[in-house]
Amino acid sequence: MKSIYVRNFVAIAATVSICFLAVSLAIIGIGRSYVINSNQEEMVNCAEEVSRTVSALSDYDSISGWNIAVFTSTVARATGNQILISDPSGVVLQCSDAKPVCEHFGCSVPAEVLLATREQPYNQLTDLGGLFSGPRYVVAIPIVPQKGACLGFVLVARDADKMLGEWTSMLSIAAIIAMGVFLAAMLFTLFYTRRMARPLDEMAAASRKFAKGDFSPRVEQTADPTDEMGMLIESFNKMADSLEQAEKRRSEFIANISHELRTPMTTISGFADGILDGTIPREDQDKYLLAIRDETRRLNRLVRSMLGAAQTNARGADPSKRTDFDLTELALQTLLSFESRATAKQLDVDPQLPEQHILVHAEKDAITQVIYNLLDNAVKFADKGSCLVLKIFKDNGKAYFSVKDHGETIPPDDLPYIFDRFHKSDRSRSLDKDGVGLGLYLVKAILNSHDEDIAVRSEDGCTEFVFTLPLAELGTRDKHE
């Protein structure tokens, strides 16, 4: 099956060839007509000049005299024409041929030519009734003195091959130049169609790799990104990015499941086998059945957490779902859901929020999850009776959100890995036996999908998480302020 590159090249080459052929034929026809008309116009001028001169000399000599013979021979050599002079009845009396005795002397010009010449200058391709050996372009006009009857006729003839000789030479040169131009056009067409088809070839090759699970190929953007091909390349690369992200999320999800489900499933299977084969005594079976129930419930919580993490992460990565909202109001609403837990731990909550609204542009539900996870982490690990500080401020075109708690310090060795999935430091294992290590990982993933960042500082019993969000457009902020 022919490729689109070959089809495009054949179509463009055929179009160029047809247009080139049409233009060439038109130029040849127009050029030939122009050469003939120019020569015929020159022959008419020559005939008129000879007619006036012969008319003037006729006062002193007959039209068959020596003076007129010399004059016609001179003009014929100068113009390259053949000149004949006849009497009123058409009998040739003068000829410009160099022969001492010309075969045209005494021959008669056809009567129809003389008749046509009396009305207007005769201008035709003819052999004058056999007077010439072959067809020639002939111009004939009468010799009419100022006073008196017609003295005869002047006939100016030129061979057709001689007339078009120069044109034929020029046409050969023009044909060589035209062939060079045509070949250059074909080479340009070949290069251009190949260049136009290259992104399509790359897309086809990339698609074949996509089918095999490799989503890394991208198409190089060499065209104008605003034209159709540039927009197609940009859309294809965005699609490839989406597929790669989806595959990455799928791989991460599978890795999460295989990582976290292996231990509880092994425990459940081992205890069940022990009960069934009698390895575990009957009096101890209730204890192991309780362990199986606890592991099953843990699996259920784990699966729900991973599904929620995957859904929230995917939602935050979709730019079309981002809106403008009040970060201060969202923080207060989320903080209310921790009121009972904060009261139970006798925490002093200090919300340091600005008086004016701070509008941000993000996916509201995803950011709600970020704030909730950070507050949950802070309430969970804050010392009883300590202070929890929530702070929001603006700086350098960004909104900053800070959550600070006072409790056990995170070990310095754990800080670089605090946002890794399933990572739990020593204090989280001791204080959060039900944790699955996805909370802070989800926070980091959501903020990364918004092209934002989060930082953590933990020292001297104080732990603070700070993340950024993009401010809403100025016009939107003004409406709310």
What CATH number does the domain containing 475 carry?
Answer: 3.30.565.10
The reply to whether 90 and 118 lie within a common domain is yes
Residue 233 lies in a domain: yes
Can you give the pLDDT at residue 311? 67
The reply to whether 325 and 309 lie within a common domain is no
Residue 334 lies in a domain: yes
Mean predicted confidence (pLDDT) in 6-30: 81
Mean predicted confidence (pLDDT) in 107-133: 83
Could you tell me which of 97, 95, 131 has the C-alpha nearest to residue 113? 131
The reply to whether 395 and 295 lie within a common domain is no
Give CA–CA dist 420/431, Å, rounded. 19
pLDDT digits (tens, 9 = 90+) for 293-309: 887 887 777 777 667 66
Residue 427 pLDDT exceeds 50: no
The reply to whether 474 and 371 lie within a common domain is yes
Residue 196 lies in a domain: no
Find the CATH number of the domain harbouring 106: 3.30.450.20
Mean predicted confidence (pLDDT) in 393-414: 90
Residue 116 lies in a domain: yes
Query: Which of 267, 290, 316 corresponds to the end of one domain?
Result: 316
User: Do 215 and 244 contact (CB within 8 A), yes or no?
Assistant: yes
Find the CATH number of the domain harbouring 246: 1.10.287.130
Mean predicted confidence (pLDDT) in 435-458: 83
Give CA–CA dist 291/286, Å, rounded. 9
In terms of Cβ atoms closer than 10 Å to its own Cβ (0-12, 13-18, 19+), residue 418 is: buried
Residue 240 lies in a domain: yes
Contacts of 114 (CB under 8 A, 6+ apart): 90, 140, 153
> What are the phi and psi torsion angles at 215 (to 5°)?
-105, 20
Mean predicted confidence (pLDDT) in 212-230: 75
Can you give the pLDDT at residue 327? 93
The reply to whether 325 and 393 lie within a common domain is yes
Residue 95 pLDDT exceeds 70: yes
Can you give the pLDDT at residue 348? 92
Could you tell me which of 302, 276, 301, 299 has the C-alpha nearest to residue 289? 276
Q: What confidence category does residue 100 fall into, taking pLDDT thresholds of 50, 70 and 90?
A: low
Give CA–CA dist 422/306, Å, rounded. 11
The reply to whether 312 and 324 lie within a common domain is no
Q: What confidence category does residue 331 fall into, taking pLDDT thresholds of 50, 70 and 90?
A: very high
Q: Which two tokens stand for residue 444?
A: 């980091």
The reply to whether 9 and 127 lie within a common domain is yes
Residue 335 lies in a domain: yes
The reply to whether 21 and 161 lie within a common domain is yes
The reply to whether 70 and 41 lie within a common domain is yes
Residue 198 lies in a domain: no
Residue 412 pLDDT exceeds 70: yes
178-to-23, 31, 104, 190, 338 alpha-carbon distances in Å:
11, 15, 44, 18, 85
Q: Helix or strand or coil: residue 226? A: coil
Residue 209 lies in a domain: no
Query: Which of 261, 281, 316 corresponds to the end of one domain?
Result: 316
Tokens 């340009």 locate to 188
- Quote the domain boundaries for residue 258: 228-316
The reply to whether 306 and 376 lie within a common domain is no
The reply to whether 427 and 439 lie within a common domain is yes
Tokens 């090759």 locate to 205
The reply to whether 301 and 344 lie within a common domain is no
Can you give the pLDDT at residue 359? 93
Query: Which of 316, 334, 358 corresponds to the end of one domain?
Result: 316
Contacts of 15 (CB under 8 A, 6+ apart): none
Q: How many domains does the chain have?
A: 3
CA 7 to chain CA centroid, nearest Å:
19
Can you give the pLDDT at residue 432? 41
Mean confidence (pLDDT) of the chain? 81
DSSP 365-424: HHHHHHHHHHHHHHHHHBPTT-EEEEEEEEETTEEEEEEEEEBSPPPTTTGGGTTSTT--
The lowest-confidence range among 122-131, 369-378, 401-410 is 122-131
